[in-house]
Each structure stands twice: as C-alpha cells, then as structure tokens.
C-alpha cells in the first residue's frame, strides 16, 4: 500500500524544495472540465466545435467560401473518431505541430479582431483530451495552395513541457473532398474537390446522444448563423446485431423510402447506424472580413498603459498615444500630454510611475470618440430572419440588430431574433414550456452553461408579462417562443475557457435588454392582433350560430316568405361582417 505519508510538520526549507513550475498543459489536463471536456458527451461536442471554429476562421480570413465536413465515427463502445475537413488555405508545415499540440499558441490572441477562436487553446486541448483517454495522436492532413503534396502529420503534446511531439511527418497525395447528400442521405451529385484545405482527426473517449446539447444541434445552429457555409455532417454509430425481425425493411422501388423534412438528419437506409445530412449554403457572399482595431484608451488600465509605453516603437509620448491607440489624433495626444503636464516629446520608455498616473488620469478626463465599430461583422436582420424561417415553423418572426456599443474598451454588437412558433411542428417548443433561447457568440452556437450566461440573464431580466407572455419570478418566460441572441465582438468575454457562456458586463446586459424589449414590443403587437382576431372570430361564430334562429323568429312574427327569410340571414351576416371590421 504505497503512500507518501506526511513525515511531521514542514519547515520553510522543506517546503521550498517542493515548489516547482506547473506547465499550462498539466494544469488544463487536471482541470479539463474548464475546457469543456468534463463528460464524454460534452467532450465530443467541444472537439467538433473547436475544429469547426478553426476551419471557419481560416476560410474567412483567406476569403474562401467555407465548405466543411464533420464526421463522427464510433469505433468502440465509448470511443469516437472525430474528423473535421475544410477547404481553407491550409497550414504551412512547420506551424502544424504547435497549432495542434501546444496550448496557448495562435494568431488570434494578440489582436483585437472579431473571430471565433481567440485563445489558442481549443484544438490542442481536444487533441490532449484524446491523447489522455485513448493514448492516440492527433492526425492532420493539410495542403496549401500550389503545393505539390499534402503534409500528413501525427502529433501529441508533451504535457510536462507544453511542447508538441511529432510522431509522423510524411507527404502524400491528398485533396479535401466533400460529398453532398440528399434528404435520404444518398450522394447528391459528384464529390467536390478542393485544391487546398486541412483535415484534423482525433480519437477520443466520447458518447453520442441526441438532443439540445448534441453535435446534431450544433451543426444545425451553425448553418443558421453562417448562411455562407456548406456543411456536411456524417454520424456513424456502431450497430448492435439485432434479431432478424427487428431489422429495418430495405427500401424497394415499389415502396420508396419516406423523405423526411429537409433539415432533419436521416438514416441511410442501406447502412443502419449512419446519419448523413448536407446543409447547403444559402448565400454565395462572404460576410465582411472584420477589421483589426487598436485598443481604445478608455478600456486600458494604468498597468497596461505603462506596459504599452514601455513596449512602443514610437519615440515620443505623443506619437505613442496616437499610433498605438484608436481614436487618438495627434491633436488629442497633444491635449492629453498638456493636461497631464508631460512634455509631449518625452521618450515614452523613460516615463516615471507618477507621470504614467498623470497620463492615465488625463486620458480618463479627455472626451474621445467611441471605438470604431466597423470592425464588427453582425449577421444582419435579414439573415437572422432567413435562418429562423428556414429552421422553425412559426406564425411570427422578427429580428433586431442593435447599434454597436462598448464594454471595457471593446466594441460589441447585439442581435436578437424572435419567432412565435407552432408548438406541434417544432421540437423543444411548447405552450407550457420556457421559451427556447439559442445563444451565439461571433457566429458560434453556445450549447452549455446557459444558466451562467449573460444572454439567459438578459432574457430573464426583461418583463415579458407586458408583452403578453407569462413569466415566473426570476425565470424564463413561458410560451412557444424561440429567441436567438447573437453577440459579435472583437473580444468575447467568456466565463470559462470552454467558451460556453458570456460574462455579465453591465453594458452587455443593457444592450441585450434593449434588443429583447424591441422584439418583445413587436411580439406584443402580433399577440394583441392575434388575440383580437381570435376574439372577433369567436364572437362571430357565436352570432352566426343564432342568425338562422333569429331569422326564423322574424319569419314567424312578420310572416316572411322563405326567400325573405333567406335575405334576412344574408343581411344579418353582412352586418356582422361589417361590425367585425369595426371591432
């Protein structure tokens, strides 16, 4: 029973010998729930999400209309192979090991630019989780434009040092190839071959389960908010050998296979356990490539300002201010220096602590234009409506794209979509159910940690009773409503590394509230009108029921003929219709 028992009290000296570095990979290996790998089911989703994020970012950055294939193959009871292939620009060979097998490495962290990835952790973390649970390496195929061959690598993380270990490094003939399928899951046209792209494949302990937090739902929501994306999804589950009579009947020509609604995953009749679906792009225009921006002075803390002045390439404080920050003109920089009592020609690297403090204070006291907001690429009201209409059967749709706003110096923009759905035609929506909230950040669906998310808090915080929905205290409103919420920002403030929920900055909550209220008002108008119409129809039905009796009574009293009675019925109906219009 080996055990390192405590050998009496420690001393400062004995404790010192135990202090050591902790590699960030060791840290996240032990805390992998922080990255979204806490359960086999969530791990599957997180791996897909990180890979798809990277693919879409790369395609958009390179100006390529994205085509992405997501394949999940079950290779043992609790083991899957996840493969994501894109038609992006590919990755130059010497970058592949670090991108896929080193945490905190990437191109997106040190810039302020709207993108899906921002941390340089995700895909390496997925590989590390695969390695931990199966011992297998991450396999990458990548071909860049005009390259003769594709690179084929197998890499692992040396978790003690957070460094990649290359297990295989070869070249081979390979082109990313995509096969669309039709509603029955059968090939739909010839395969599409790209001249460049990347494919990553990770084997991991995982579990597949349908539902609101499934990969199925993720790819579907991806298609809603990325109308320029063609996405192929294929799920191959292991099938248990079933008794002969339980096997699905093969489709024959006389009995054609039923074609389900287009967007529902369908099982290929020929191969049990296989589900395949293609979400075709709805538009052939790329979203605007977002600009990178410089930090806004009002979002920069004193310590960061000091660091920036130390690191600047500018030779004077004045030029440092105007070159390294957004919204600071040469004149404004001069004003700030004057206000701070600092010679604008001072070398910024030689500024003293109290001078930085004065400068910081002067910046806070100076009115500046808000950060530029053309760096944001919202989905847009029309696209949100189109996306919702494609996926949800509803009687009422509306969408709002708010003007950009700013939190902690970072521009962001809120978009809201709302649908009043027909409960019987939509899964997960009901008259007695809480409204369904679809959450997105920089066009990425967020499926976990709804309770911790500012978006959920925003929906709960609105008084929906005044818009015609019932709402329990401190809870989501009740009704057959789907609310889509999108946050676009150059830096999304996630509450954890797994990037599932947005932190509740007051500015974000405010914008959410205003957007939701606008949609709520429009919903109220619709519900009010619908209520009036239903009420009028009810009254009218009621009256109509009695018109013949009334006419018969009049006929008896006044001695009308059948023809006259008929005329009376007609007149009464006309009157009723007129009254109805005046209701």
Contact positions with a copy of itself (CB under 8 A) in 125-144: 131-135, 144
Nearest approach, Cβ of 353 to a copy of itself (angstroms)? 6
Residue 26 pairs in a beta bridge with: none
Is 97 a binding residue for a copy of itself by CB under 8 A? The answer is: no
**CA of residue 385 relative to chain centroid, distance:** 16
**Which of 76, 74, 86 is closest to 140 using CA atoms?**
86
Is 349 a binding residue for a copy of itself by CB under 8 A? The answer is: no
DSSP string, 373-387: -TT-----HHHHHHH
CB 197 within 8 A of CB 86: yes
- Please tell me what DSSP assigns to residue 451: G
Name which of 273 and 472 has its Cβ closer to a copy of itself.
472
Is 396 a binding residue for a copy of itself by CB under 8 A? The answer is: no
Residue appearing with tokens 């294939």: 69
CB 89 within 8 A of CB 144: yes
Distance in angstroms (rounded) separating the CA atoms of residues 27 and 60: 32
Name which of 440 and 491 has its Cβ closer to a copy of itself.
491
- Please tell me what DSSP assigns to residue 369: P
Number of other residues whose CB lies within 10 A of the CB of residue 424: 10
Is 179 a binding residue for a copy of itself by CB under 8 A? The answer is: no
Stretch binding a copy of itself (CB under 8 A), from 335-343, 396-404, 445-453, 563-571? 445-453
Distance in angstroms (rounded) separating the CA atoms of residues 110 and 124: 18
Name which of 291 and 381 has its Cβ closer to a copy of itself.
291
Contact positions with a copy of itself (CB under 8 A) in 474-513: 491, 493-497, 503
Number of other residues whose CB lies within 10 A of the CB of residue 382: 11
Instruction: List the one residue from 268, 274, 368, 452 that touches a copy of itself (CB under 8 A).
Output: 452
Is 22 a binding residue for a copy of itself by CB under 8 A? The answer is: yes
Stretch binding a copy of itself (CB under 8 A), from 97-105, 169-177, 255-263, 476-484? 97-105
Residue appearing with tokens 């019932």: 470
Nearest approach, Cβ of 12 to a copy of itself (angstroms)? 4
Nearest approach, Cβ of 284 to a copy of itself (angstroms)? 16
Distance in angstroms (rounded) separating the CA atoms of residues 208 and 217: 12
Name which of 3 and 240 has its Cβ closer to a copy of itself.
3
Instruction: List the one residue from 36, 97, 117, 120 that touches a copy of itself (CB under 8 A).
Output: 120
Sorted by sequence, the CB contacts under 8 Å of residue 227 that are 6+ apart come out as 281, 282, 283, 383, 386, 387
Q: Are strands 150-158 and 436-441 parallel, antiparallel or unpaired?
A: unpaired
Is 58 a binding residue for a copy of itself by CB under 8 A? The answer is: yes
Stretch binding a copy of itself (CB under 8 A), from 22-30, 180-188, 239-247, 549-557? 22-30
Phi/psi of residue 243, each to 5°? -60, 150
Is 537 a binding residue for a copy of itself by CB under 8 A? The answer is: no
Is 20 a binding residue for a copy of itself by CB under 8 A? The answer is: yes
Distance in angstroms (rounded) separating the CA atoms of residues 160 and 156: 12
Residue 436 pairs in a beta bridge with: 482
Is 165 a binding residue for a copy of itself by CB under 8 A? The answer is: no
**Which of 48, 46, 81 is closest to 236 using CA atoms?**
81
Is 61 a binding residue for a copy of itself by CB under 8 A? The answer is: yes
Name which of 58 and 231 has its Cβ closer to a copy of itself.
58
Stretch binding a copy of itself (CB under 8 A), from 95-103, 208-216, 514-522, 566-574? 95-103
Nearest approach, Cβ of 256 to a copy of itself (angstroms)? 45
Stretch binding a copy of itself (CB under 8 A), from 58-66, 218-226, 415-423, 425-433? 58-66
Element (H, E) at 563: helix 562-582
| Interior angle at CA 280, CA 64 and CA 450, nearest 5 | 90
Stretch binding a copy of itself (CB under 8 A), from 33-41, 247-255, 391-399, 573-581? 33-41
Task: Measure Cα distances from 160 to 105, 139, 182, 265 in Å.
Answer: 16, 21, 47, 42
Nearest approach, Cβ of 133 to a copy of itself (angstroms)? 5
Phi/psi of residue 318, each to 5°? -60, -50
Instruction: List the one residue from 46, 54, 159, 398 that touches a copy of itself (CB under 8 A).
Output: 159
Contact positions with a copy of itself (CB under 8 A) in 312-331: 322-329
Contact positions with a copy of itself (CB under 8 A) in 203-232: 205
Nearest approach, Cβ of 3 to a copy of itself (angstroms)? 6
Task: Measure Cα distances from 57 to 60, 279, 524, 578 in Å.
Answer: 5, 18, 38, 59
Burial of 172 from C-beta contacts in 10 A (0-12 / 13-18 / 19+): exposed
Contact positions with a copy of itself (CB under 8 A) in 271-300: 289-294
Nearest approach, Cβ of 127 to a copy of itself (angstroms)? 11
Instruction: List the one residue from 19, 254, 255, 561 that touches a copy of itself (CB under 8 A).
Output: 19
Contact positions with a copy of itself (CB under 8 A) in 553-582: none
Nearest approach, Cβ of 159 to a copy of itself (angstroms)? 7
Name which of 107 and 177 has its Cβ closer to a copy of itself.
107
Is 368 a binding residue for a copy of itself by CB under 8 A? The answer is: no
């Amino acid at each position: 029973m080996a055990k390192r028992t405590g050998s009496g009290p420690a001393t400062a000296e004995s404790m010192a010998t135990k202090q050591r570095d902790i590699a960030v990979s060791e840290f996240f290996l032990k805390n992998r729930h922080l990255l979204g790998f806490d359960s086999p089911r969530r791990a599957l989703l997180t791996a897909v999400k990180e890979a798809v994020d990277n693919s879409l970012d790369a395609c958009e950055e390179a100006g390529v209309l994205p085509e992405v294939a997501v394949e999940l193959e079950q290779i043992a009871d609790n083991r899957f192979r996840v493969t994501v292939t894109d038609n992006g620009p590919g990755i130059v060979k010497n970058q592949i090991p670090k991108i896929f097998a080193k945490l905190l490495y990437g191109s997106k962290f040190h810039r302020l630019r709207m993108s899906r990835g921002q941390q340089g952790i995700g895909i390496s973390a997925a590989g590390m989780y695969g390695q931990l649970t199966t011992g297998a390496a991450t396999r990458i195929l990548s071909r860049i434009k005009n390259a003769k061959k594709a690179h084929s690598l197998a890499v692992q993380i040396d978790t003690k040092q957070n460094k990649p270990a290359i297990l295989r490094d070869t070249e081979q003939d390979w082109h990313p190839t995509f096969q669309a399928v039709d509603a029955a899951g059968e090939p739909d046209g010839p395969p599409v071959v790209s001249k460049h792209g990347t494919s990553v494949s990770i084997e991991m302990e995982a579990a597949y389960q349908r539902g609101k937090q499934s990969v199925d739902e993720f790819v579907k929501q991806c298609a809603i908010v990325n109308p320029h994306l063609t996405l192929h999804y294929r799920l191959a589950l292991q099938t248990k050998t079933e008794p002969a009579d339980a096997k699905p009947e093969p489709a024959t020509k006389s009995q054609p296979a039923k074609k389900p609604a287009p967007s529902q995953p369908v099982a290929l009749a020929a191969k049990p356990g296989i589900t395949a679906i293609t979400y075709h792009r709805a538009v052939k225009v790329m979203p605007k490539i977002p600009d990178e921006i410089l930090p806004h002075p009002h979002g920069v803390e004193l310590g960061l300002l000091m660091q920036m002045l130390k690191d600047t390439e500018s030779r004077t404080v004045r030029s440092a201010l105007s070159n390294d920050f957004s919204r600071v003109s040469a004149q404004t920089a001069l004003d700030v220096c004057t206000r701070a009592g600092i010679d604008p020609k001072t070398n910024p690297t030689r500024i003293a602590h109290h001078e930085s403090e004065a400068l910081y204070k002067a910046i806070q006291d100076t009115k500046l234009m808000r950060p530029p907001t053309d760096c944001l690429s919202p989905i847009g009201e029309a696209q949100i409506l189109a996306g919702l209409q494609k996926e949800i059967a509803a009687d009422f749709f509306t969408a709002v794209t708010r003007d950009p706003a700013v939190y902690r110096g970072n521009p962001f923009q809120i978009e809201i979509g709302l649908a009043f759905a027909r409960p019987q035609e939509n899964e997960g929506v009901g008259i007695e159910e809480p409204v369904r909230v679809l959450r997105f950040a920089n066009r990425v669906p967020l499926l976990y940690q709804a309770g911790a998310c500012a978006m959920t808090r925003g929906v709960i915080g609105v008084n929906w009773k005044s818009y015609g929905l019932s709402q329990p205290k401190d809870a989501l409103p009740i009704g057959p409503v789907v609310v889509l919420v999108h946050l676009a920002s150059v830096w999304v403030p996630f509450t954890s590394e797994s990037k599932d929920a947005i932190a509740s900055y007051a500015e974000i909550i405010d914008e959410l509230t205003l957007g939701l209220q606008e949609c709520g008002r429009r919903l109220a108008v619709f519900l009010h009108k619908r209520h009036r119409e239903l009420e009028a129809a009810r009254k009218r039905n009621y009256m109509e029921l009695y018109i013949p009796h009334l006419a018969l009574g009049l006929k008896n009293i006044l001695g009308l003929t059948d023809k006259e009675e008929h005329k009376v019925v007609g007149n009464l109906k006309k009157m009723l219709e007129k009254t109805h219009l005046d209701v």
